[in-house]
Amino acid sequence: MSTDQQEPNPDDFDTIVLGTGLAESIIAASLAKASQKVLHIDPFPTYGGPRHSSLTIPELVAHLPDLENSSYEYPAGSSAAAGGSFQQDVETGSRGRQYAISLYPAILPARGKLIDTLISSGVSGYIGFRVVDGIGLWQPSTSTGAGTSTNRGEEFASDIKKVPSSKGQVFKDKTLSLMEKRKLMKMLMFVANLDETKAIDDALLKDKIDMPFVPYLQQAFDLPLAMARDIAFGIAHCTTGKEPALVTLLRMQRYLRSLSRYSPTSSFLVAQFGGIGEIVQGFCRSCAVYGGTYILGDMARIKSGKQTEEGVEIQIEAQEGALRGKRLIGTDKALKQAGLLDASGDGRGSRRKIEESEPRRSNCVAIVSGLPPMVRSAFSSGRDGAQQTEEQEDEDEVAGNDVLVLVAPPPEDQEKGQEVSRILFMGSGTGSCPEGEYVVYISTPTRIGETNPAKALLDRLFVTPTSTALPTSAHQPGRHGPDQAPCWWGSFERVRVVGRDGPRGRARSGRAGRSGRRDDHQARRGRGWRR
Amino acid sequence: MSRNAQSFKLVLLGESAVGKSSLVLRFAKDEYSDFRESTIGAAFLTQTLTTDEGRDIKFEIWDTSTTPGYRSLAPIYFRNSAAAVIVYDITQRSQASFAQAKTWVQTLRRQADPSITIILVGNKLDLASSSRGTDRELAEAYAEEEGLLFVEASAKTGENVQEVFMQVAKKLPLAPPPQATSGGGGKPGQKGVKLAPGQASGQQAAQACNC
Ligand SMILES: Cc1cc2nc3c(=O)[nH]c(=O)nc-3n(C[C@H](O)[C@H](O)[C@H](O)COP(=O)(O)OP(=O)(O)OC[C@H]3O[C@@H](n4cnc5c(N)ncnc54)[C@H](O)[C@@H]3O)c2cc1C
Ligand SMILES: Nc1nc2c(ncn2[C@@H]2O[C@H](COP(=O)(O)OP(=O)(O)OP(=O)(O)O)[C@@H](O)[C@H]2O)c(=O)[nH]1
Ligand SMILES: [Mg+2]
């Protein structure tokens, strides 16, 4: 292609794209494919930028200080850390590079726009995927009790309820009465056959389209509260359970229809080698194949920028002269950094100030050398009940427990619309870590006065079944299972972006006016997870 | 297309203007131009080859521009690559593109799958008699030390170009290419999902030459 490309000036571009986040990368790839000359730059050193990259441990450790309320640790006492060499191996040896840790852990429904885009753009050819092997509902609150119970393995395991992934599994479920099973199947059939265009006239939806989801399920299908909540959080993947009925039903329908596209028992996929970060690289690669030029890291730092008659002109560290684009695309934040958008100008910029009071989510990622015992026993395949012998210890991957998801619903008596906590286990089959280990991602709402609640959840997960009390503080020796204790964890906070006006950081075009597209924000709640 | 060809990803590395794209074009299309423009961004094309044993090998060739300042190679570039062709220009002094080739070897050792097949290629052999700058012996000794395949070739005359890819093909494993090994110890291929509706038909980009 390049052979007959006569470039008048190598520093002139049709479009300059600022930032290599997912949205920007998809845009860059599609513009390049449409024969535009694209310059794609990001002052962050890795593809994906500060939000969507996948990083090695050393890279993440270097990046953590830039994130809010961040910390990390190599806890002593875990078997993998024995001898104190783990930290050294990771930070100076080659070991750290064997990890691909996503700043944006997310599972992808097998049917959705992102998957469609990946396939139609050909980018899927660059990327390998894994299916999510199982989803479980976890009620950590019930196991805390007064901290006095003499917990045994089964009790712990029973706190995790595996979400059935097929009709057969629903019928086998011994915890449900026949009546409940009938109601449940009726509900699932309703969702499967729901026709969006006729929804308003549907007897089961009429006047209830915007009703909060959990009460809606109770009312429309006469389901008990517990079951309604299980459906809302385990199948529809609600964040609060109060999302409006119709959009939630339609999303659930998409998840149900995702079943069997790539796996008979799973609706979701993850990209290998670090998830979104890898997907981003795929789009950037595709952009480059169609002639896109890339500058990343310090060399891409923008020194100045201005609008001109022909478009935009920017100065970057990489070179003396200006780079010109007929058009420039980036988020508000990126445009401001480039000096192309007045911090207070244009009315929109000023609106987005991050308030202290804005809802935050606490995130924790840990490297562990095995699944927590209670998770392993809950997902041990082909067995009834929770008991499981230790001989299966290393068989998790074989048993199809490479990628697992736990959802911890908010307390039942929720008044303020509390949010779920989510936990994602990525095993070595995903290419995120060496064999036998897992990367654990935890995301949980931060409530006022709490410090590092995500790390606290991590501690709860890895408490040993035989310990008599639950740990209240971080890693006390002997409280963790000796084999699974985290050998590294890091945590940070993020403001959760929701709102009628659409998410923060909407990608903007330097030229085109606002499209006036209304964000279907409800359908996207819980971003940072499912897309 | 080809019958049951086994598909392998091959990356091209080396300093700008050593002739990476020229080698690929000679190999894939038997074309050559004295006025080849520097690759902008990246290129991707496929070429199938049959080994002496009758094995069909389909190379997915990842070429890229290494113009300094522009382009940071993403990990995805090395990911799952079964082979790397590292090219230098024999007309340059060994401190130049040959030294750069050695740096690429180190990078591959760090970032790529340990089982990757690497071939070191000294290009522009047609100019050997008039203006050789890097000794064959020097490069050969280095390749041996590092356990690399080695060949001198000319994209211009076509000499040894087929040989480069044939040597690589012979070294490739009979089993399916590694799926999930670099960067993690995943079990190759197991449960991995490819989204393309059909392996070959999904990769539209693979059919067209974009260089
Ligand atoms: C894994 C993943 C899958 C996605 N799949 C879909 C999908 O199937 N369908 C779909 O419509 N969208 C999809 N998106 C885009 C998604 O809707 C927006 O990225 C998201 O709403 C931004 O929220 P955030 O909290 O991640 O914002 P940020 O992390 O601040 O932004 C993330 C990125 O999205 C860009 N962005 C933010 N808001 C918008 C917006 N309104 N329009 C365009 N770009 C925006 C930003 O420029 C940035 O690059 C997906 C995003 C991700 C990360
Ligand atoms: N004499 C001679 N010239 C060659 C040979 N191979 C390539 N060239 C010339 O060397 C120049 C660079 O070749 P390319 O194939 O574009 O080099 P490249 O390594 O792809 O360069 P970048 O894309 O910039 O990284 C061109 O002018 C080619 O004509 C060769 O075997 N002999
Ligand atoms: Mg080239």
Cβ atoms of residues B159 and B125 within 8 Å: yes
Q: Please give the structure tokens belonging to residue B148.
A: 């690399």
A295-304, A339-348, B84-93, range with the lowest pLDDT: A339-348
Q: How confident is the model at residue A526 (pLDDT cuts 50, 70, 90)?
A: very low
Ligand 1 contact, A277 CB (< 6 A): no
Cβ B209 vs Cβ B45: under 8 Å: yes
A131-145, A185-199, A210-224, A324-338: which has the minimum mean pLDDT?
Answer: A131-145
Where does the pLDDT of residue A143 fall: very low under 50, low under 70, confident under 90, or very high at 90 and above?
A: very low
Chain A CA closest to residue B107:
A94
Q: What is the mean pLDDT of residues A210-214?
A: 94
Q: Is the pLDDT of residue A98 over 90?
A: no
Is residue B27 one of the residues assigned to a domain? yes
Least confidently predicted of A421-435, B26-40, B178-192? B178-192
Query: Exposed, middle or buried by CB within 10 Å (0-12, 13-18, 19+), for A249?
Result: buried
Domain count, chain B: 1
Q: Is A187 exposed, middle or buried (0-12, 13-18, 19+ CB in 10 A)?
A: buried
CB contact under 8 A, A128 and B192: yes
Nearest by CB to residue B41, choosing from A292, A296, A436, is A292
- Contact status, residue A170 vs residue A178, Cβ threshold 8 Å: no
Residue A1's pLDDT is 43
User: Counting one residue from A and one from B, how many pairs have CB atoms under 8 Å apart?
Assistant: 167
Q: What is the pLDDT of residue A482?
A: 47
- What is chain A's mean pLDDT, rounded? 79
Residue B40 Cα to chain centre, angstroms: 17
Residues with CB under 5 A from ligand 3 (ion): B 20-21, 39
- Our CA angle for A239, A243, A244, nearest 5°, is 165
Q: End-to-end CA distance of chain B: give it in Å, rounded.
A: 21
Which of A459 and B186 is assigned the larger pLDDT?
A: A459
Class of residue B175 by CB neighbours under 10 A (exposed 0-12, middle 13-18, buried 19+)? exposed
For residue A165, name the pLDDT band (cuts at 50, 70, 90).
confident
Give the residues across from B44 on adjacent strands.
B62
Binned at pLDDT 50, 70 and 90, residue A415 comes out as: low
Q: Are A180 and A174 in contact (CB under 8 A)?
A: no
Query: Which B residues 93-122 touch A at CB under 8 Å?
Result: 110-111
pLDDT at A411: 84
- Ligand in closest contact with the CA of B85: 2
Q: How far is CA B113 from the centre of its chain?
A: 14
Say how far apart CA B164 and CA B33 lie, in whole Å.
19
Q: Is the pLDDT of residue B210 over 80?
A: no
pLDDT digit string (tens) for B19-58? 999 999 999 889 898 887 777 666 778 888 898 888 899 9
How many A from CA of A451 to the centre of ligand 2?
59
pLDDT higher than 80, residue A17 = yes
Residue A411 to residue A395: CA distance in whole angstroms: 34
Give the pLDDT band (50/70/90) at residue A519. very low
Residue type, B184: G
Q: Please report residues of B whose CB lies closer than 8 A to that of A40.
A: none
Identify the DSSP state of B104.
Answer: H
Letter for the amino acid at A64?
L
Determine, yes or no, domain membership for B208: no
Which two tokens mark A153? 């393995």
Indicate the range of A227-231, A321-325, A499-503 predicted with least confidence: A499-503
Asked if residue B203 is part of any domain, the answer here is no
Alpha carbon distance A418, A433 (integer Å): 32
Task: Give the range among A4-8, A332-336, A503-507 with minimum mean pLDDT.
Answer: A503-507
H helix or E strand, kind and range, residue A427: strand A421-427
pLDDT tens digits, residue range A253-273? 999 999 888 888 889 999 988
Residue B155's domain spans which residues?
A: 6-185+192-197
**Strand (E) or helix (H) holding A442:** strand A438-446
Structure tokens at B11: 């990356």
Atom of ligand 2 nearest to the CA of B18: 19
In a domain, B204, yes or no: no
Q: Is residue B1 part of a domain?
A: no
Which of A438, A456, A452 is CA-nearest to residue A372? A438
pLDDT band of residue A73 (cuts 50, 70, 90) is confident
Closest partner CB to A288 (pick from B36, B42, B183): B42
Q: What DSSP string describes A182-214?
A: HHHHHHHHHHHH--GGGGGG-TTTTT-TTSBHH
Dist. CA A335–CA A314, nearest whole Å: 11
Residue pair A160/A138 in contact (Cβ under 8 Å)? The answer is yes
**In B51-205, at which residue ranges do the beta strands (DSSP E only) sit?**
56-64, 81-89, 117-123, 149-152, 192-193
pLDDT tier at B71, thresholds 50, 70, 90? low
Average confidence (pLDDT) over A317-322 = 84
Kindly tell me if the per-residue pLDDT of A527 is higher than 60.
no
Decide if A314 contacts A337 (C-beta within 8 A): no
> Average pLDDT, stretch B138-156?
97
In this predicted structure, what is the pLDDT of residue B191? 57
Question: pLDDT band at B78, cuts 50/70/90?
Answer: confident
- Segment A225-235 shows an average pLDDT of 94
B205 belongs to a structural domain: no
Catalogue all structural domains in chain A, each as residue range(s) with its CATH number.
Answer: 12-56+275-351+489-529 (3.50.50.60), 67-98+134-163+355-483 (3.30.519), 167-258 (1.10.405.10)
Residue B134's CATH number: 3.40.50.300
Q: Is residue B98 part of a domain?
A: yes
What single DSSP character describes residue B29?
H
The pLDDT of residue A193: 92
The model's pTM: 0.79
Q: Is the CB–ligand 2 distance for residue B211 below 6 Å?
A: no
* Ligand 1 near A285 CB (within 6 A): no
Question: What tokens does B75 get?
Answer: 């990990």
Digit-coded pLDDT (tens) for B96-137 = 999 999 999 998 888 888 889 999 999 999 999 999 999 999
Q: CA–CA separation, A341 vs A354, rounded Å?
A: 18
Q: Reduced to 3 DSSP states, what percent helix, strand and coil does chain A have, rounded to the nearest 5?
A: 35, 20, 45
**Pairing of the two strands A488-495 and A68-73:** antiparallel
What is the rounded average pLDDT of the residues A19-28?
Answer: 96
Q: Which is more confidently placed, B156 or A93? A: B156
Q: Are strands A12-18 and A323-331 parallel, antiparallel or unpaired?
A: parallel
